[in-house]
Structure 1
């Protein structure tokens, strides 16, 4: 082994050690760092197009970072503000439940008191509203850190890639390219397609809930948009919950309407409108694998599991595909 290559391996080991130490020290903000890295991965092609058209690297990185900042604020501010402002309406929704729910089926009668359920739900809603109010300053600091880190990553995006190719033997470069393609496609599916689907879901849900006569159409539409990020389940679970609520309070017609129109228009229609136009072969992510990664990621590492879980499963699938091809290296372009 040459002295230069041995030096590179030592530096790579040092990098891993320092990275692990840094992650341990900055664990409280690891979510912000992770999201900044993955968002930079998705936005890099946009930045590169600007550079190819003659824009300087700094200006291109600043423009793309500003765009990402505006998108984050536009998408999440209405959601947070709506949930905080409409907390009383959500609480009133629970208070309107009858004191007892009686279900009759196959000759059996089951009666369930709702007082404990209402008390628990009320406490959860109040805790969420209080957390949003008291954590606003920390959310702003995290947003600022996310913006600065994203700019830095876009300004020098190729350093890690070049280092990876330097310390990896040439016969394994095709593996790095395959993993890079799978990661970029998966992140595109997770961020771009899911976000676009959620944006399209909001106005459709707004119309459906308004036609069916619900009072808190904005809140329900926001929740429907958020649920689009949950694979397989999606807004359908909200439709089932609303249908059960309407049935209990004596509105069977509206219950039938939401159980039919909810999954069809709110759940399925946005997918049909968005995915065929944005999906590509690289962004293909089977729903079953998405669900496994999403659920396992959230249960294991919390909120970053929304992205980290499906991403880990996608990388695993790519490695399995490479092994199924016999492990032979691909020819370099």
Structure 2
């Protein structure tokens, strides 16, 4: 029986790698759907607990995941497609040179080349998104189908997965499950809640500073909460830089200080601690390493894969340390 299990396990790994190679173009979509279903599983269970059928509970949870995905990505698509012309015009209106004067010192900065490169990059990105629209639509449909299927079959999939783990290692599987759930919860739920709070704080700030597209800027600040450590501070720095390019040093300092505190820090100081019990318990430095390394290595899906991989390695290291400590305690004489 053991020999048969080994053969089945080897064949499963072999054909799994073959399937990944054949389906590589949708592996990222399937993985994204898997993580979303992982986070939505408690929602499905709660709906089932109040009397909803398995099909209805899975459908409602899938709809919530779909709407959340659309809310996160639609502002970026809106800027790249609908407001592309206004963004390019704003960059092209920037002066070719800017003289910065502060405390009696002056320095002239040439901005023409940087503005041209930024315009080319934005236009190329928008063209790429537009040309890939049919493929993105197919992947979105696949995402919805996979999430629903995983949620609908959650119980049987959980039993099948647990059956593959030897009884002596099921505590380790449980620890990895808990760490993965907290990491994904931190990536999706906590960041989304902080993003909403960032939007609510940023909107009056940008209105007070008189920006013409305050709603779009506040939305961008909320979306940027998904970028660890830096977050909406990137937007604040960009706005301060735009004022410097216009030669308005006072406005640049004002938005950098006021916006940096209210938009960049207040949501993290107020909202995130409320949800701290459900976060990944992962240091910011390791989270940033996972995020950066994941994005640079495998692209956009690395935003999820990188921190998740680092979190699981951290959990395994903790388990290994505990195991050695238990062995040392047993071996020490009384």
> Could you tell me the TM-score, scaled by structure 2's length?
0.89
Match of 1:277 in 2: 274
Q: Is the 8 A contact 1:83 1:219 kept in 2?
A: no
Match of 2:173 in 1: 176
Q: How far is 1:106 from its partner?
A: 11
Match of 1:32 in 2: 29
C-alpha distance 78-232 of structure 1, shift in aligned 2 (>3 A): closer
Q: Is the 8 A contact 1:97 1:249 kept in 2?
A: yes
Gaps of 5+ in 2: 328-334
Alignment partner for residue 305 of structure 2, among 298, 303, 308? Answer: 308
Q: Is the 8 A contact 2:100 2:247 kept in 1?
A: no
Q: How far is 1:107 from its partner?
A: 10
Match of 1:228 in 2: 225
Q: Distance in 2 between matches of 1:203 and 1:293?
A: 29
Q: Is the 8 A contact 2:99 2:107 kept in 1?
A: yes
SS in 2 for 1:101: strand
Q: Is the 8 A contact 2:95 2:111 kept in 1?
A: yes
Q: How far is 1:178 from its partner?
A: 0.5
Alignment partner for residue 288 of structure 1, among 267, 278, 285? Answer: 285
Q: Distance in 2 between matches of 1:165 and 1:81?
A: 43
Q: Is the 8 A contact 1:228 1:267 kept in 2?
A: no
Q: How far is 1:110 from its partner?
A: 5.2
Q: Is the 8 A contact 1:205 1:221 kept in 2?
A: yes
> Could you tell me the TM-score, scaled by structure 1's length?
0.90
C-alpha distance 53-80 of structure 1, shift in aligned 2 (>3 A): same
1:80-91 equivalences under 5 Å are 80-91=77-88
Q: Distance in 2 between matches of 1:144 and 1:137?
A: 11
Q: How far is 1:160 from its partner?
A: 4.5
Q: How far is 1:43 from its partner?
A: 0.6
Q: Is the 8 A contact 2:236 2:255 kept in 1?
A: yes
Match of 2:332 in 1: none
1:138-217 equivalences under 5 Å are 138-217=135-214
Q: Is the 8 A contact 2:98 2:246 kept in 1?
A: no
Q: How far is 1:49 from its partner?
A: 1.6
Q: Is the 8 A contact 1:186 1:282 kept in 2?
A: yes
Measured against aligned partners, the alpha-carbon deviations of 1:20-79 in whole angstroms (never above 9, x if no partner) come to 111111111111101000011111111112223332222211121122222222333244
Q: How far is 1:159 from its partner?
A: 4.1
SS in 2 for 1:231: coil
Q: More deviation in 229-238 or 139-148?
A: 229-238
Q: Distance in 1 between matches of 2:235 and 2:72?
A: 20
Alignment partner for residue 72 of structure 2, among 53, 72, 75? Answer: 75
Q: More deviation in 284-293 or 314-323?
A: 284-293
SS in 1 for 2:154: coil
C-alpha distance 271-69 of structure 1, shift in aligned 2 (>3 A): same
Match of 2:256 in 1: 259
CA RMSD of aligned residues (A): 2.3
Gaps of 5+ in 1: none
Give aligned pairs, total: 326
Q: Distance in 1 between matches of 2:86 and 2:203?
A: 16
Alignment partner for residue 247 of structure 1, among 228, 244, 265? Answer: 244
Q: More deviation in 111-120 or 314-323?
A: 111-120
Alignment partner for residue 61 of structure 2, among 53, 60, 64? Answer: 64
Alignment partner for residue 317 of structure 2, among 313, 316, 320? Answer: 320
SS in 2 for 1:256: helix
Q: Is the 8 A contact 2:185 2:278 kept in 1?
A: no
Measured against aligned partners, the alpha-carbon deviations of 1:83-124 in whole angstroms (never above 9, x if no partner) come to 422112211221232211345799997544222112111111
